[in-house]
Structure 1
Amino acid sequence: MLETKDLTIRFGGHVAVNAVSCNFLPGTLTAIVGPNGAGKTTYFNLISGQLQATQGRVYLNGVNLSSLSPSARTRAGLGRAFQLTNLFPNLSVLENVRLAVQATQEGKHLRGLNLWSIWSDHRALTERALEILQNVALRDKQDATVASLPHGDQRKLEVALLMALDPDVYMFDEPTAGMSADEAPVILNLIRALKQDPTKIILLVEHKMDVVRELADRIIVLHNGTLVADGDPADVIASPVVQQAYLGVAPADKEAA
């Protein structure tokens, strides 16, 4: 279980996230929604360690992660896609994913990559990397350098690296942002597939309510850094206060929503 307890951060006199307490269970995809400036990405940053909380704690499986760096939290089982963007921009797509697969094996106390060993020892790493690239529709670009990829392919690679790390918690912050209508379904299908694993927790920040309706098992709503709604997607979306104040839907538009 992932848990945040009274998670808070202040920037001077501004409280960006205000005492947010939530539990997230395996086998559940939780969508985090709210207007721009609501604190969604800041909340993500506090969980993943990009920001240090003013007060409050983050727990994963009962272990307090609050004092850990982002990389240490990743090793503990938190995975956030954007942290891995352009991990090695001058290496190939395949090399990036293969290194992430290696890091996962080392984290599980298996033998890592020995540069002096024979190539056959690396075969399992390469095969796993190629399998992941096939899943994210990047197999045909395995030899391209990361820096040369268009934006949509870089987003696919972020998900590939995250899959290679095999975290307990997948954190997606607007995963289809900037992607074309043809590219976005690849990422959404990957998230659908990840949902089938009952051992994984998925957190999703997403502005597209059609995506939220389809994928989410639960919705939490932030406004001015405060948790204002939490529950079943249909109930949360139907709430007049959420529709009017936080999702930008006027009462007259309720049925259309």
Structure 2
Amino acid sequence: MSDALLETRDLTVRFGGHVAVDGVSCAFAPGQITTIVGPNGAGKTTYFNLISGQIAPSAGQVLLRGSAITRHSVAARCRAGLGRAFQLTNLFPDLTVFENLRLVVQSRRHRGFDLFSMASRQRYMSDEAAEVLARVRLSELADHKVSELSHGNQRKLEVAMLIALDPLVYMFDEPTAGMSVDEAPAVLELIAGLRGRADRTILLVEHKMDVIRNLADRIIVLHNGALAADGDPAEVMASDVVQEAYMGRAIEDV
């Protein structure tokens, strides 16, 4: 596991008598898209919350580039290189699409938050924001307030803002949820394009089987909070654990 960019070791969280995540150990290498699947209530989002710092574990560790970040705050993990779409890209509804994105670029470059003066004086920030907007096909909406956007376009903006943040670890929690058939491809293409970054890794929680098949280099399956399967997408997708989970039948204890 020495080449892992992100790693969890025996990661566990209990809520009263309920074990929501049960001793999950996984290492995530750079240059790879790992999709996390499982039935509702399997612990996928809770596992994401433990990694990103939304909740504290009862036991176990989270490591980034070999260093423990288990007790770090969400903000500290962000500075260290963890990026999660819905938690880090809170949209400002009264600002425009472009202003939201430029604010992220400015923050990443440690320029503070004087959005309207400093960012306007530094052309490269605006150019970078415009480039990301073009990549997610939101350029035509750049001057629209976020409050005017459809749900699908707000999700696209969230993904764009995570891309602009440029973390070491991208964490996407159902990035195409709420998007139409026409809106989703731009986001999926963008995520697929990140695979080529040899110094980045991507974690994806997703339920849509076509998305999983097209994007995943690796699949891990959670069931009752425990790691039930981990490996090559074709093999995992054909396993009894996945077949039973998605057919809605009871899964035997693993």
TM-score, normalising length: structure 2? 0.91
Match of 2:34 in 1: 30
Over aligned residue pairs, what C-alpha RMSD do you find? 1.8
Match of 2:247 in 1: 248
CA distance in 2, matches of 1:59, 1:79: 14
Structure 1 residue 200 and structure 2 residue 204: aligned?
A: no
CA distance in 1, matches of 2:248, 2:119: 58
What SS does the aligned partner of 1:57 have?
Answer: strand
Match of 1:90 in 2: 94
Kept in 2: contact 1:9–1:54 (CA 8 A): yes
Distance apart, 1:85 and its partner CA: 4.2
Structure 1 residue 158 and structure 2 residue 152: aligned?
A: no
Kept in 1: contact 2:35–2:220 (CA 8 A): yes
* Residue correspondence of structure 1 range 48-63 to structure 2 within 5 A: 48-63=52-67
CA distance in 1, matches of 2:116, 2:216: 46
CA distance in 1, matches of 2:123, 2:231: 45
What SS does the aligned partner of 2:167 have?
Answer: coil
CA distance in 2, matches of 1:187, 1:39: 25
Distance apart, 1:239 and its partner CA: 1.4
Kept in 2: contact 1:219–1:233 (CA 8 A): yes
Distance apart, 1:114 and its partner CA: 6.3
Distance apart, 1:91 and its partner CA: 1.1
Distance apart, 1:87 and its partner CA: 3.0
Say how many residue pairs are matched: 245
Distance apart, 1:136 and its partner CA: 0.8
Match of 1:177 in 2: 177
Moved more, 82-91 or 7-16: 82-91
What SS does the aligned partner of 2:247 have?
Answer: coil
Structure 2: runs of 5+ lacking an equivalent: 250-254
CA distance in 1, matches of 2:118, 2:217: 47
Q: 1:95 to 1:42 in 2, by over 3 A?
A: same
What SS does the aligned partner of 1:247 have?
Answer: helix
Distance apart, 1:69 and its partner CA: 1.2
Q: Deviation digits for residues 227-252 of structure 1, max 9, x if unmatched?
A: 010000111111123312x23277xx
Kept in 1: contact 2:119–2:125 (CA 8 A): no
Match of 1:225 in 2: 225
* Residue correspondence of structure 1 range 1-80 to structure 2 within 5 A: 1-80=5-84
* Residue correspondence of structure 1 range 102-117 to structure 2 within 5 A: 102-106=106-110
What SS does the aligned partner of 1:17 have?
Answer: strand
Kept in 2: contact 1:86–1:147 (CA 8 A): no
